[in-house]
Structure 1
Amino acid sequence: MTMRHPVPASLDNPLYYQENMDVLVSWVMTHHGDLLTGPERTRLSEFAGLETGPRALLTRMVMRTGELFRADKLRYPELPVPESEALRVLVQAGWLDRAPELSLDDLFRLFTLAELRPVFADWLQQQGHPKTLGKAQMLDLLAESFSSPRALEDWLPGGGEASDVVQLQDMALFDRIRLMFFGNLRQSWTDFVLVELGVQQFESVPFTPASRAFQQRAEVDCYLQMHQCRERLDSGEPAVDVWPDVPAPVDNAWLTSRRDRLLLELGRQAERQGEPELALQVWGGSGHRDAWLKQLRLLERMKRYERAWAMACQRLASEPDDAEAQGLARVLKRLAKKVGAEQPDPVDNPLLNEFTLTVPKPDTGTVELAALQSLSTVDAPVFYVENTLINALFGLLCWPVIFRPLPGAFFHPFHVGPADLTREDFVTRRQPGFDERLRLLETGAYRQAILQTFRDKSGIANPFVLWPAVNEALLIHALDSIPPAHLNDLFLRLLDNLREHRSGFPDLIRFVPGAKAPEQRYEMIEVKGPGDRLQDHQIRWLQFFARRGIPASVCYVRWQGDGECP
């Protein structure tokens, strides 16, 4: 069953954030209700049943950092009722605790130095400390003697209602539904609730039970457990203490990818904390594409050269992509000396086409613009495209595949693109679809497919299409000039590593419509100003172009009168 997409609120409504929160809660209840317990569903129904004022105030508090708030600091003039009335309703309904116990750290976060000094002045004086201490100094001195939490009235006797502190009671539930909506806990409530989503258009992706990333409540629990492990690492807890609490491998590709990333970070922390054996163990269990190279480099630092050499040779035989091969070649060259093996054959990198362009230094504008203006002619126009053109051609051709509703790809109707775009199995899960679209390059149907998609989808968010940088005239130039075989080569390399290969394209493209040979009807040009040099990912693209016969050059710009060589 395909489910109806919600409509985002407009910023014209001062309570638009509340409308968006209602959309989010309703979406989760509709699509993931079976993954919630009965009490959780009841609680969310009670949230939806609150009057607008209390519901809006509760939303504001959920969106903020932490669970403790001073009642006198909650000021939202757009509420239809006074804050005090909304607070009373929320306390009565059990959403807020009006008498939480506060630690010393909580107290110092909530109250000002002027409010705290009178409370601790006598104690500080008795201990021989001046009353004029700063907040951080005072907290350090008090920490040992005031380590037990206590009620606010015990901290601040006679503070009155003006200093009431309330505590949210259901943040675990709100975090759970935030996860089920976004598919991660990296995004905050403000990423949805405080955004005018109607400003951007999103592709309409069918959302069905089969396309959900979470099929069981245990999978949500697993994600939350992994998130807690990551938070513990980020807070400085030793990796050796976190490692036992990492969930075991799961039969869920999307969660496996998350676990692989967690293990990558846990291994990093273990190495930094002087636990190399743990780092090797953890990285050995991670399927992340960077884990093997980290193991290799650590083995090299530990002088386990034979093991590192065997691992490197095994990896080389698996045909790594060019970025991995570049790093691997450097390691193998060092290891060969250590194990007495022959140096690996050097990579036969082709020579790059290069030329120098001397132009007047402009008062304004970039070096790329200066080169474009100098190189462009009526018969051979030049356009500044950098990473936008080839990505757009790919995104338009493969649009149906990119937005295929596979499990873990889309969690809500407001995705710019699939959530698994940079995951290792993004392409393999869609391989038949990509193969089908790339076959259009062989039949000639690709041209109409790209232009029709451009017209039908104009303005709709796509991670490969930057709409302000793409227009139909530019696309027609490209389709008239770039042979389909070249497009096929470019798209296949993109698919080889979408995370790395979406960048590094040359700055300019020159079209030469009058050229007789199809492969001479365009040229990509990387521009480098005085003192600038090619980056590794740019070099890899340029070497790929040279191997595949794709016309590309490096243009070294010199300013007239400078006398500086590139």
Structure 2
Amino acid sequence: MPLHLAPKKSYHPYNRENRERVARDEALARAKQAEDDAYLAARDRSDRLAQLRRQRDAKIPSAHAQRRVADAALGRDTIDPTSLPSLHLGADVERAEPPPPQHGAPLLGPSVELHPWYLDPKWQSGHAKSATEAQKASMQRQDEARKQREDPLAQMPQAHRLRRRPPPQATSLTEERRQREAREAERAAALQANRTSAFFRRRARAERAARAPRPSMYVELLQDMICTVLAGESHLFTSREQTSLSALLTMPYDARYLFVRLLQRKRDQWYRLDKLEYHDDVSNLAQAAHDLCTPFAAPLPTASSDDADEAELYRFAMMDAEMDGGLPARLALLTVDELKVLAKQLGRRCKHPTRSELVATLLAKPANATLCLYTDRLGLEMEPSSARLERAMAALLHGGCLRLAPAAARLLDRVALVYHRGPPAFGSLLTAAILQRTRRCHFPSYTVQRTSDLFVDRAHVLSFASACAAAEQMDQYMEEGLDAARACVQLLESCEAAWHDAVQQARAAWPEGVTGAQYARMRFHTGWPLTRVLFKGCEALARLGQLTQEAAVLQRLLAQRYFWRGRRGAWHDRLAVIAVRQGRKKEALQRCLEALGDPDTRWVYVAALQRRVERLEGQCKVPLPARHFYARQLQPVIVSWSGERCPTSVGHARRSTQMRTRWRAPDGGTCTVEELCLARYAEQGFRGFHCEGDLIFFLYVLLMWDVLFAPVPGAFETPYQRAPLDVDTDVFHLARRPAMEEQLARIAQTGGQDIIQSVDARERPLRTYAQGCRWDDFSVDVLQEVAECLGGPGLAALCRFLSDEGGGRPRGFPDLTLWRYSDRHSERSFE
């Protein structure tokens, strides 16, 4: 993880004052060390002089005395040289100075030097005076050992032995060299193993980069995806498709890199080679484009193949020579500045040089007369303006244009669908893998289990892919307005026949219904995404007021129990609403009672159905003994406040399409209505967030972490998932019911504090990219406070509710989440 440091803190390690302080401290330390070294050297010299002087003062017998002792031992008489007559040759010369003394001159200097002043005990340091006898003895032993170790006289015998040693032979030199090289190799290996500093890592990275170019992660990730799919599910592709994938993997590196980078960009779009900024990764961009456009197989006639994509699958890209759309399509690739240059070259004038005006001006005249200068004459040549325009455009489009072959792109999309078990979560083939490789996202840890028999054959994959595309298109339409609702109805009508065939196929395969294990695999059936298209289309029909057609679709959905059984409660409730609006209240009452008796009706719909039953029984005059009375739930407490609304400036209102009201805050400023409520409750000791249920969902994810990421067949098929593949479906609860009940019982009994603490301590440092995790918004202290205020039973009830909803993002939660920790059991949600 990167180290985030506050740049203006006084303890910042890179602060200028801190750097100067560190430099001063280091200079003082070096000066102190030099002073200590000089003191120790002077002390060694003085001690050595003292030792020599002590040896001088020792009483050593003279040579004459030694001879006298030896003669006495042998029984000989010793002649005293002083008793013999002396020969005086200079008797006539009288010496002026007195004769030298007989005891001889001192060789070691005056005696005062034997006891210098600095050896006086009174000049000793405080540390030396306070030392104990044992410490003094230890210091003396250390000094004597150092003196003996560093005595040059002690090194002389070793030097003499080295001089007398015979010269080394060639074999011994070779052996020494080998041993030295072996030691150096061991040292290098140890350094390589212990490279922990950033400097060594950067240097090693640079050495590897200079030694051998590393393949791009884009190429590696695409290759891993293709190999993973073909290793276990090659039966889902024809032999020609497998040959195409093999040809892609065996192409030159530059061509593969260019293909995968274009595969990550917009489809069915032409790209100018001179505008592609891949020169640092591709040595020859033109050659890579040529390799992609070179056919790797012979094209098949469309009539001889049932699949048009397979017939067109003989190359991976095409050049601009095959561009459809003529000159307008080519002009769309030029920038506005290039269009201006082109108009100037052709002599076209444009009053308003916008893109549309420039394109219209360049395409205005079909032909024009051009004055041409030949070698022998000057004449006019009639040349079509389109030809001159194309020639001028060719000069601007350096290198031409490139587009991926649609058949090749669709083949890789199908490979990605099989690999991800559905449309990729991030909208692109490799986005999740790239985020993981670049360490921008750390996905949760779980066991990846590839199931090779989820798709039966190639036809199953093709139908499932088209159904998923229709479901995505329906979701996009539902986010738009009324015109999009009409498009939803058209899409619904186009998918009804395919959905009916999928239901008939499921009934033929499982006439008695599907069990829990098989129902979990129904998510990969074609009928699953088509069912989503149908009940989303019912919402569009409701917007348009087509209640009769909506009721017919809902009845067809309720007639099957193979797909989306968890939505049956909502379908029953909507049919009851339609019956009430059409005046058939008894039918609506009967529909609600059937919904309450349906085993697939989730308890999240039970409360609304029970309230509707009580209202309808009152409206239908049902006798009291025959009426249903359900346990009353806690009614919400309504709190009313008054505030001062602030006027909004006209300019700000024009800039904003959805203007929010502004209110006077307690501090005198302006705020939103949610901020005003938070401020009012803060005065009462409450803490809170305007998070619309994100805090509660974060708690749910931490508490149910082991259940969410438990190994379930078909739930974790790739290593790049934020959540199980069956999240937001009723399969989620059915596939994990035993583990879920055990975890809920543990939460209700213990309160979940230990679970929150352990999971947060493990995942927060990694910033795990799991669904619902808001690491930067909510601290672990906040989570534990809210959990303690809710209590174990309350947390278990919330977790059960969210699990029944499919374990996904909660819908319909209040805007504000407030709690007062002093009460310990006061957690509230406000709308």
Do both proteins adopt the same fold according to a TM-score greater than 0.5, normalized to the shorter chain? yes
SS at match of 1:508: strand
Q: Is 1:262 aligned to 2:533, yes or no?
A: yes
Residues of 2 paired with 1:502 and 1:55: CA distance?
A: 44
Could you tell me which of 377, 398, 417 is aligned with 2:723? 417
SS at match of 1:454: helix
TM-score (norm 2): 0.49
Q: Is 1:311 aligned to 2:591, yes or no?
A: yes
Residue in 1 that maps onto 2:439: 198
Residue in 2 that maps onto 1:240: 493
Could you tell me which of 486, 504, 510 is aligned with 2:820? 510
Tell me how far 1:206 sits from its aligned partner: 1.4
Please report the RMSD computed on the Cα atoms of aligned residues, expressed in angstroms.
Answer: 4.8
Residues of 2 paired with 1:493 and 1:230: CA distance?
A: 26
Alignment of 1:14-413 (within 5 A): 16-30=217-231, 32-72=233-273, 75-77=276-278, 78-92=280-294, 93=296, 94-98=315-319, 104=325, 108=328, 111-112=331-332, 162=397, 166-168=403-405, 169-185=407-423, 187-189=427-429, 191-192=431-432, 195=435, 198-210=439-451, 214=455, 217-227=458-468, 229-230=470-471, 236=487, 237=490, 239-246=492-499, 247-249=501-503, 250=506, 252-255=521-524, 256-267=527-538, 279-286=550-557, 287-288=563-564, 289=567, 290-298=570-578, 307-318=587-598, 321-322=603-604, 325-326=607-608, 329=611, 348=632, 350-353=634-637, 360-361=666-667, 363=669, 366-367=675-676, 369-371=678-680, 373-376=682-685, 382=687, 384=689, 386=691, 387-413=693-719
Q: Give yes or no for contact 1:283–1:295 (8 Å, CA) kept in 2.
A: yes
User: Which letter does structure 2 place at the counterpart of 1:208?
Assistant: Q
Residue in 2 that maps onto 1:521: 824
Provide, for residues 155-178 of structure 1, a one-character-per-residue CA deviation record: whole Å limited to 9, x for no partner: x97675946564514122111022
Alignment of 1:422-433 (within 5 A): 422-433=728-739
Tell me how far 1:89 sits from its aligned partner: 0.8
Q: Give yes or no for contact 1:67–1:171 (8 Å, CA) kept in 2.
A: no
Q: Give yes or no for contact 1:403–1:418 (8 Å, CA) kept in 2.
A: yes
Cα distance change of structure 1 residues 212 and 483 upon mapping to structure 2, 3 Å threshold: farther
SS at match of 1:375: coil
Which moves more between the two structures, 461-470 or 354-363? 354-363
Residues of 2 paired with 1:336 and 1:480: CA distance?
A: 42
Cα distance change of structure 1 residues 224 and 500 upon mapping to structure 2, 3 Å threshold: closer
Provide, for residues 523-554 of structure 1, a one-character-per-residue CA deviation record: whole Å limited to 9, x for no partner: 12446xxxxxx3xxxxxxxxxxxxxxxxxxxx
SS at match of 1:259: helix
Residues of 1 paired with 2:535 and 2:750: CA distance?
A: 44
Residues of 2 paired with 1:85 and 1:315: CA distance?
A: 66
Q: Is 1:484 aligned to 2:737, yes or no?
A: no
Which moves more between the two structures, 41-50 or 23-32? 23-32
* Paired residue total: 480
Residues of 1 paired with 2:274 and 2:629: CA distance?
A: 66
Residues of 1 paired with 2:585 and 2:445: CA distance?
A: 53
Residues of 2 paired with 1:508 and 1:19: CA distance?
A: 48
Q: Give yes or no for contact 1:57–1:79 (8 Å, CA) kept in 2.
A: no
Tell me how far 1:261 sits from its aligned partner: 0.5
Q: Which blocks of at least 5 consecutive residues in structure 2 are unaligned? A: 1-204, 297-314, 343-355, 364-385, 478-483, 510-520, 558-562, 643-664
Tell me how far 1:336 sits from its aligned partner: 7.8
User: Which letter does structure 1 place at the counterpart of 2:283?
Assistant: V
Tell me how far 1:412 sits from its aligned partner: 1.6
SS at match of 1:507: strand
Structure with the greater relative contact order (CA < 8 A, sep ≥ 6): 1 or 2? Answer: 1
Provide, for residues 42-77 of structure 1, a one-character-per-residue CA deviation record: whole Å limited to 9, x for no partner: 333332333332212212322233334254565123
SS at match of 1:97: strand
Provide, for residues 82-137 of structure 1, a one-character-per-residue CA deviation record: whole Å limited to 9, x for no partner: 43221101011421234786655x97555439999x9xxxxxxxxxxxxx98989x
Residues of 2 paired with 1:108 and 1:345: CA distance?
A: 71
Q: Give % identity.
A: 18
Residues of 1 paired with 2:543 and 2:317: CA distance?
A: 41
Residue in 1 that maps onto 2:376: none
Q: Give yes or no for contact 1:267–1:283 (8 Å, CA) kept in 2.
A: yes
